[in-house]
Structure formats: C-alpha cells, structure tokens
C-alpha cells in the first residue's frame, strides 16, 4: 500500500476491542482471545515503527474493566505481567520507549514494579513510544487534573485566570505526549468508551468491523491511508 510519507500520523491511539467475541466465535475461552490480542499488539507495534508512527497509545485496561469476572481480570493482569517480563529486551533493542497512563498505583504491586522498571529501562529510546493506558478512564483523568489545578490555585502557584487549555493539559496523564492524530477502534463499535476524552477532541476517527485479534499491518495501513485522505480543519476553513 502506497502511503504518503509526509502525511503519517504522529500519534495513533487504538481501542483494542473484540478479543472476547473472537474467542467465543471459535468456541474458545475468552482468555484465548486476550492472548491472541497480545500477539496483535506485537504485530501492530512493529508495523507502526515501519510506517513511521512515533506514538502508539493502546487502551489496554480501563477503570471499568475491574467489573469483569475475577478470573478474567486476573488473567489480564498475568498477560500484562508476562508481556513486561518477556518483551522488555525486544522493546529496548528496537528503540521503543515504554510509557503508561492511568491510575497505575491501583494495579497489583508486582505489575507496578515491573512497569516502573520497564519504563526506566527504555527511557532513552527514541524510535517510537508505546503508551499503555492501564486502569485508565478519561473522565477520571479530567477530574484528577482538575483537583491538581485546584490545589495549585489554593497554594498560590497559579491564579484562576491563568488556567488556559495549554496550562490544564500539563495536569493530564498525557502531558508529555502530543494529542492523537488518528483514533482507531476495532470490532465496529461506535463509542469512545471513556478513552482520551480531552485528547481526542480533534483526532480523526477510524472504525473497522475487524476484531482486534485479526487486525493486521494491512488493516493499519488502510486506516492510515484513509486518514491521509481527510482534510483536518481544526474548526477552521481550508
């Protein structure tokens, strides 16, 4: 597929949906869909690097996912544990910097420890950023940012009239990242599911019926190609 190298989205965010449906359609336990989904993460991370995408944010575990059956939650945590244990050297060697957003301190202690080690171990990498949204909720992120703004106003660090959009952004989990240019959702659902509510204000959306475990490099290229055909006006006129 011929992509225009001058119009590659810098930041792509993905809602990885459809693991459970993929498994059930094959008569498999839901966890097998999640395992296959982890393999897809590897495929899409490699494809993103090859295409030239600089930041890839994946909605890996939401604040609402805790309501799933305990066995499924435990299995998801174990998959994350395994990924951090087995893939960190590959990330390091390929120049991928690992990042994470969300309320990380509410994850299991072993996950926090491995995640912190992995983030520090890859901190000097510059090829691209793999940003995992873990225990993440968009509304919660905005509420937490507002609280911090309020504390700083109370402490006299900033004045209320100085709180602009640019200032507020510095209180978000994504303060060190550009907003996504393109948001992809797999499995055909037409909702944001509490994902990056502030950051996606002017992102281009691409929804595919393909389930996440079946999402391929060709699917990613198709999404980017459609993105390249859109005119981004940001509320203005071109």
| DSSP state letters, 69-83 | -HHHHHHHHHHHHHH
Q: Residue 217 burial (CB < 10 Å; 0-12/13-18/19+)?
A: middle
Handedness of CA 197, 6, 213, 122 (dihedral sign): negative
Q: Which residues are catalytic?
A: 17, 65
Sign of CA dihedral 151, 156, 160, 164: negative
| 131 HSE (CA, 13 A, CB side) | 24
Apex 101 CA angle, 95 and 105, nearest 5: 115
> What is the distance between the alpha carbons of residues 17 and 34, in angstroms, rounded to a whole number?
10
């Amino acid at each position: 597929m011929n992509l225009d190298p001058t119009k590659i989205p810098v930041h792509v965010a993905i809602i990885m949906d459809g693991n459970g449906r993929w498994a059930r359609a094959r008569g498999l336990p839901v966890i097998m869909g999640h395992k296959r989904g982890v393999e897809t993460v590897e495929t899409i991370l490699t494809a993103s690097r090859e295409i030239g995408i600089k930041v890839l944010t994946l909605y890996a575990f939401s604040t609402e996912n805790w309501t799933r059956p305990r066995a499924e939650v435990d299995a998801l945590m174990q998959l994350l544990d395994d990924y951090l244990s087995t893939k960190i050297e590959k990330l390091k060697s390929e120049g991928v910097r690992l990042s994470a957003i969300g309320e990380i301190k509410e994850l299991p202690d072993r996950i926090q420890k491995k995640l912190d080690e992995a983030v520090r171990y890859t901190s000097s990498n510059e090829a691209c950023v793999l940003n995992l949204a873990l225990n993440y909720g968009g509304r919660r992120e905005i509420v937490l940012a507002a609280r911090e703004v309020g504390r700083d106003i109370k402490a006299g660090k900033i004045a209320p009239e100085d709180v602009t959009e640019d200032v507020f952004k510095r209180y978000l989990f994504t303060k060190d990242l550009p907003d996504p240019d393109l948001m992809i959702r797999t499995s055909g659902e037409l909702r944001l599911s509490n994902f990056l509510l502030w950051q996606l204000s002017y992102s281009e959306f691409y929804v595919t019926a393909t389930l996440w475990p079946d999402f391929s490099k060709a699917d990613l290229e198709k999404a980017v190609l459609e993105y390249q055909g859109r005119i981004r006006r940001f509320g203005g006129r071109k």
